[in-house]
Structure 1
Amino acid sequence: MVLLNGAPMIKGPRVLLRKPKDSDIMDYLDVDVSQELVKMYGGNTKNIAPKTLDKAKKFIQAIKENQLEWCIEYEGKMIGQARLTVSEMDNRARYAIGLFNPSVWGKGIGTEVTQLVLNYAFEELRLHRVDLRVLDYNKRAIKCYEKCGFIQEGVEREGALIEGKYETDIMMSILNREFYAMKETERQQL
């Protein structure tokens, strides 16, 4: 595995994955907190606090400080973030993505970002495995992950207490050989 020093800029057909810039603070502040997003993150939808300039600055600063975390830019605005948390000892990473702007949901942006990050993880970092956790009621995210080649490998039944109800997490992963087999199948279909 070759761990690079920081997240490189990655350009896709519609999105740009990059480190934060000053205007991202306002892009983040310009979008109201979505109750659905809070629920998909496993947060409390009954007590949603409004965004503040201080919270926005901390959000962007946290992305800056994380070695392999990107701002997702779409049509010139930051709409979310993606992250790989690498375990060099095991040659693997945990993947996370969040699109805080509901106006881009359902447009395939999450799929494009996930494919770009997986390509980076396997082609550049030479990882063996990328995994994630997702709440089982987040059907849109699960569909995206499956489309990108992730396979459900486990269930943590009622492991998350959210708003007084126990919810289930799904564990999913993709191995390097599965990634390359999927790429080969895509090439053959062209």
Structure 2
Amino acid sequence: MNDNLIAGRRLKLRRANATDLGYIMTLQYAPENLKFIVPFDEDYHREIIDSDGAQKLDIIIEEIDTGFAAGYFMLRELDSPCAEFTHVIIGRKGLGYGREALDLLLKWTFAVKRFHRVWIDCKEYNSIALNLYERAGFVREGLLREYIYNDGAWENLVVFGMLAREYFAKQ
């Protein structure tokens, strides 16, 4: 089975496999990433990787030239017309990979898989993610106030969405 989903100029997206599990866990628990996400345990990721991918996918962002992993995405609700992007984590920061990988994921989601809508959330203080999602064309849909309890404090989540027609209008 070909696990490659889509490729761009510098990056490709592929389905994660068992050998990627350590990389995913390392990315999640890196201090520079952990403050922005709610990590999932290794068993949860193993279950996703071992599944048929009909409901959830762990996706590795890989450099085409080197074959090195550059980050990962998690997608959920793939059995619905409205998918959730979660755990957008870039391991090789400062190279523009976040935008390129997100553009590839949007293309795969809308042009290949034909989803009607995708949504994503992020912590209100994650200015890099907020800017990335808005520049990619996501619409800020709402604020979930004090939604996550983390490290002794309640945190807000900003919810973004994009419809297929919005995606295709900007192409």
**Shared fold (TM-score greater than 0.5)?**
yes
Aligned runs of 1:3-22 on 2, under 5 Å?
Answer: 8-21=4-17
Kindly tell me: are residues 18 and 61 of structure 1, through their superposed partners in 2, closer, same or farther at Cα, counting changes over 3 Å? farther
Does residue 69 of structure 1 match 2:58? Answer: yes
Change (3 A) 1:158 1:178: same
Equivalent in the alignment of 2:152: 164
- Cα contact 2:4–2:14 (8 A) shared by 1: yes
Show structure 1 runs of 5+ residues with no match. 44-54, 184-190
**Rounded Cα–Cα distance in structure 2 between residues aligned with 1:148 and 1:62:** 27
Larger RCO, structure (CA 8 Å, separation 6 or more) = 1
CA gap of 1:138–1:128, structure 2 versus 1, over 3 A, is: same
Deviation track 1:150-185 (CA, whole Å, cap 9, x = no partner) reads 0100001111111111110001001111101111xx
The SS at the match of 2:170 is helix
- AA aligned opposite 1:81: Y
Q: Is contact 1:80-1:97 (8 Å) kept? A: no
- Distance in 1 (CA, whole Å) between partners of 2:26 and 2:149 is 30
Aligned to 1:95: 85
TM-score (norm 1): 0.72
Q: 76, 90, 99: which is aligned to 1:85?
A: 76
**Superposition CA RMSD, Å:** 3.0
- Consecutive unaligned residues of structure 2, counting only runs of 5 or more, are none
- In 1, the alpha carbon distance for the partners of 2:160 and 2:137 equals 10
Correspondence for 1:134: 122
CA drift of 1:41 comes to 0.8
1:180 and 2:152 equivalent? no
Deviation per CA, 1:46-67: give whole Å up to 9, x if none: xxxxxxxxx8797566435361
Provide TM-score, normalisation by structure 2.
0.79
**How far has the Cα of 1:25 moved from its partner?**
5.3
For residues 105-135 of structure 1, give each alpha carbon's deviation from its aligned partner in whole angstroms, at most 9, with x where no partner exists. 2322111111111111111221111001111
CA distance in structure 2 between the aligned counterparts of 1:28 and 1:126, rounded to whole angstroms: 27
| Percent of aligned positions that are identical | 27
CA contact (8 A) 1:63 1:70 kept: no
d(CA) in 2 for partners of 1:168, 1:119: 29
1:122 paired residue number = 110
Amino acid of the structure 2 residue aligned with 1:10: I
